[in-house]
Amino acid sequence: MQLTGPAIEKRMHQTVFQHLLNKAPDIVIEPYFPECLGSNSYDLHLDKVLSVYKCTLPKGMKPVIFCEEKTAVPGEYSMRDWFYDAHAYEDYCLRPENYDIRNPKYMLNPFDKKSHETIDITIPETGAILNPNLGYLGSTFEYTETRNIFPYIDGKSTIGRNFILNHHTAGRGDDGFCGQWTLEIRVLCPTLVMPYMRIGQIYYEQFRGRRKPYNRNPHSHYNNQAGPTPAAPLKMDQCLLDYVAQKNKELTI
């Protein structure tokens, strides 16, 4: 059962029971603006900091193109603008394979912490152009807390129609999550983004069953995250590896 806009707003207020137990309301959105409340969602905004993984950015290339004016229009920029200097651009023209993100030299290793080192970019008020060959970590400007219900985020219709993907796979949240939402952003073509633009919507659904809050789960990685948060190194589940080994052992007997 999905909460309507008025129901979302209602759940942001403490009940008498929560007040007596000194507990926070089921939904916290900070800052909160009534005009951002929709029929069954609340609009979220893009914070001004983006991150890219160092290992995915070719040497000499800019992670974004900073716009000098808010009136930036197609045709004002060229491939040369993706490079810091003329030497790097000339090298790209001679050896484009060295700047192709499909080159395995730019491999992202989910199991290696060093692979998740980032470069931070602050989007100026005049905006920045994102590169369709790169993945960006962003975050919502809003800090949220959710209890007793299930939150998830999705792109706004206008964002989708501009082919901006605001969460690559992780649009689903957890009961008990507290923090800003990290966004995995991709664009289909070079695309202008602005700090504090509306980037998506948060929805809430009622669930049934015994609770296992995210902020009390010892295996949670991202509670209380602030700003674009890199991926935690992926670990193999030893329980599954032991299971596979046991099954293989049984097959050889």
Q: Does this model's pTM top 0.75?
A: yes
Show Cβ contacts of residue 237 under 8 Å, excluding neighbours closer than 6 positions.
Answer: none
Per annotation, catalytic residue among 68, 117, 184, 205: 184
Q: Are 178 and 145 in contact (CB under 8 A)?
A: yes
Q: What is the pLDDT of residue 220?
A: 53
- Amino acid identity, position 246: Q
Q: Are 67 and 195 in contact (CB under 8 A)?
A: no
Q: Are 149 and 205 in contact (CB under 8 A)?
A: yes
Pick the CATH number of 5-252 from 2.70.40.10, 2.60.40.290, 3.90.700.10, 3.30.300.30: 2.70.40.10
User: Across-strand partners of 143?
Assistant: 30, 180
For residue 136, give both structure tokens.
Answer: 């960006």
Q: What is the pLDDT of residue 237?
A: 61
Q: What is the pLDDT of residue 252?
A: 75
CA distance 97 to 82: 15
CA angle 156, 13, 220 (to 5 degrees): 65
Residues of the chain with pLDDT under 70: 16, 70-71, 170, 208-225, 227, 229, 231-237, 239-240, 243, 253
CA distance 26 to 12: 6
Q: What is the pLDDT of residue 187?
A: 95
191: left (phi over 0), alpha (psi -120 to 50) or beta: beta
Q: Is 184 a catalytic residue?
A: yes
CA distance 185 to 21: 40
Show Cβ contacts of residue 53 under 8 Å, excluding neighbours closer than 6 positions.
Answer: 108, 115, 116, 117, 118, 119, 135, 230
